[in-house]
Structure 1
C-alpha cells in the first residue's frame, strides 16, 4: 500500500493504481518493480505537509493495488483504461504508478483530457519503434489520438522524425533550460486551459537528470533537478484530472523511487489544496 493511502475505495478522492508493465523497455529493464519500489521508498515521508497545512492521511487517498500485465500490450492497456475509467466515474482522480511509460496511454484514455502535460527527457513521438506502435518510445504520439495538445516538458532528445513531428501545432516542447519560465507562466494562468477543460499529467522520472534519478531505463544527462520537477508538478496539479509517475526501475538504492513518491505526494497535496480553495 502507498503510505498514507488509508481511505476506503468508496470514499476516496484519489485512487493509486500500480501498472507494472515492463514489455518494451529499450535499454535497462526493471519497470515491473516500479510500483512496489515507489510504495516502499515512500514509507519515510511525513504525513504532514507544512506548505498546505494538511495531512496526507486526511486527503482521501486509496491504494487499489496493481493491475498485472500480460504479453499483449494493447489488450492490457484497454483493460487498464477500463479500470481507471471506473475511478473517474466515481469523481476520483486516478494516480497511476508505472511501469513503463506506455501505461500513460491508458490513463489518458480513461480521463479523456483536452491536454497532456508530460515531464520527459524524450519526445516519445515515434510512429513506431522497431515496428511496434505500442512501444514506450511512441506513447506521446499515441496520446495525440486522444488529446488536443501535448506539452513535453524537459525534453532533450529524439529522432529527426520526432523533432519534425514536434513542430506541429498540437505539440509544444519546453527544453530543460526553459522549464522554470514555463512553470511560472502556468502559475500565472497564461498557458493551461481553464476550468471547463481537462489536463492529464504524466511524470516520466527520466525527466530528472540521472545524477538525481539513476533508477530508470533510458538515462539522459542534462536534465531537470528535483526542485524543478516539484515546481512543475505543483503548477500543473490544480488543472489536472489524472496523474502518473512512470519509468522507475530497481537499478539504484531507492533514490529514484523516493523522488517519484515525493512527486506523487506533491501532486495530491497541491490538487487537494486547490480544490479546497475553489470550494
Structure 2
C-alpha cells in the first residue's frame, strides 16, 4: 500500500493503481518493479504537509494494488483502461504508477482530457520503434494520433483511439528527425529543459489535463533508476513546480519509468511527486 493511502475504495477521492508493464523498455529493464519500489521509498515521508497544511492520510487516497501485466501490450492497455475508467465512474481521480510509459495511454483514454502534459526527456512521438507501435517510445504519438486496432479489442475504435487533442512535452531533449518533424504540428508544444522553470500553462479554467511524469525527465544525477537515462535534464524542484502548477487542471495523473537500477533515488522522487500532486490538487479543490 502507498503510505497514507488509507481510505476505503467507496470513499476515495484518489485511487492509486500500479501498472508494472515491462515489455518494450529499450535499454535498462526493470519497470515491473516500479510500483512497489515507489511505495517502499515513500514510507519515510511525513503525513503532514506544511505548505498546504494538510495530512495525506486525510485526503481520501486509496491504493487498489497492481493490475498484473502480461506481454500483450494492446490487450493490457485496454484492460488497464477499463480499471481506470471504473475509478472515474466512481467519481475518483486515477493515479497510475508505472511501469513503462506505455501505460499512460490507458490513463488518458480513461479520462479523455483536452491536453496531455508530460514531463519527459524524450518526445515519444515515433509512430513505432523497431516496428512496434506500442513501444514506450511511441506513447505520446499514440495518445495524439490513435491506437492501432488489431481487431481483438476496442483500442482504435471511436473515442478510445487516442484521448487528447494536444500534447505539451516539458523537458524533452532528444528525439529522431521524424519526431521533431511531428513536434512542429499545431497540436504539440515542446518546452526544452532550460525553459521549463519559466513555463506557465495557458489553460482556461475548464481545460481538462492528464499529467504524466516520466521520471527520466529528471537529470540522471537525481534519478538514475530509469530505463533510458538522458543527461542535461531537470532538477527535482523543477518537476515539483510543474506538478504543483498543473494539478488544479488535472483529471488523471501518472508517474512512470521507475526501475530497480539505483539505490532508490528515482522511486523516492516519484513517490514525492505523487504526494505533491495530491496535496496540490486537494488543496485547490478545497478552495473551489
Match of 2:235 among 225, 230, 250: 225
Asked whether 1:204 is paired with 2:221, we answer no
3-state DSSP of counterpart to 1:241 = strand
CA shift for structure 1 position 192: 2.0
What are the Cα deviations for residues 51-90 of structure 1, in whole angstroms up to 9, with x where unaligned?
0000000000000000011111000000000000000011
In structure 2, how many angstroms separate the alpha carbons of the residues matched to 1:25 and 1:71? 12
Aligned-residue Cα RMSD (Å) equals 0.6
- TM-score normalized by structure 2? 0.93
What residue in structure 2 maps to residue 194 of structure 1?
205
3-state DSSP of counterpart to 2:134 = coil
What are the Cα deviations for residues 102-144 of structure 1, in whole angstroms up to 9, with x where unaligned?
0000000101101000000000000000111000000000000
CA shift for structure 1 position 259: 0.3
Asked whether 1:265 is paired with 2:275, we answer yes
CA shift for structure 1 position 91: 1.2
- TM-score normalized by structure 1? 0.96
CA shift for structure 1 position 181: 1.1
What residue in structure 2 maps to residue 120 of structure 1?
120
In structure 2, how many angstroms separate the alpha carbons of the residues matched to 1:23 and 1:192? 35
3-state DSSP of counterpart to 1:220 = coil
What residue in structure 2 maps to residue 110 of structure 1?
110
When residues 193 and 149 of structure 1 are mapped into structure 2, their CA distance, relative to the original with a 3 A threshold, is farther
What residue in structure 2 maps to residue 26 of structure 1?
26
In structure 2, how many angstroms separate the alpha carbons of the residues matched to 1:143 and 1:260? 22
**Structure 2 runs not aligned, ≥5 long:** 145-161
Aligned pair count reads 271
What are the Cα deviations for residues 117-173 of structure 1, in whole angstroms up to 9, with x where unaligned?
000000000000011100000000000032111000000000000000000000000
CA shift for structure 1 position 198: 1.2
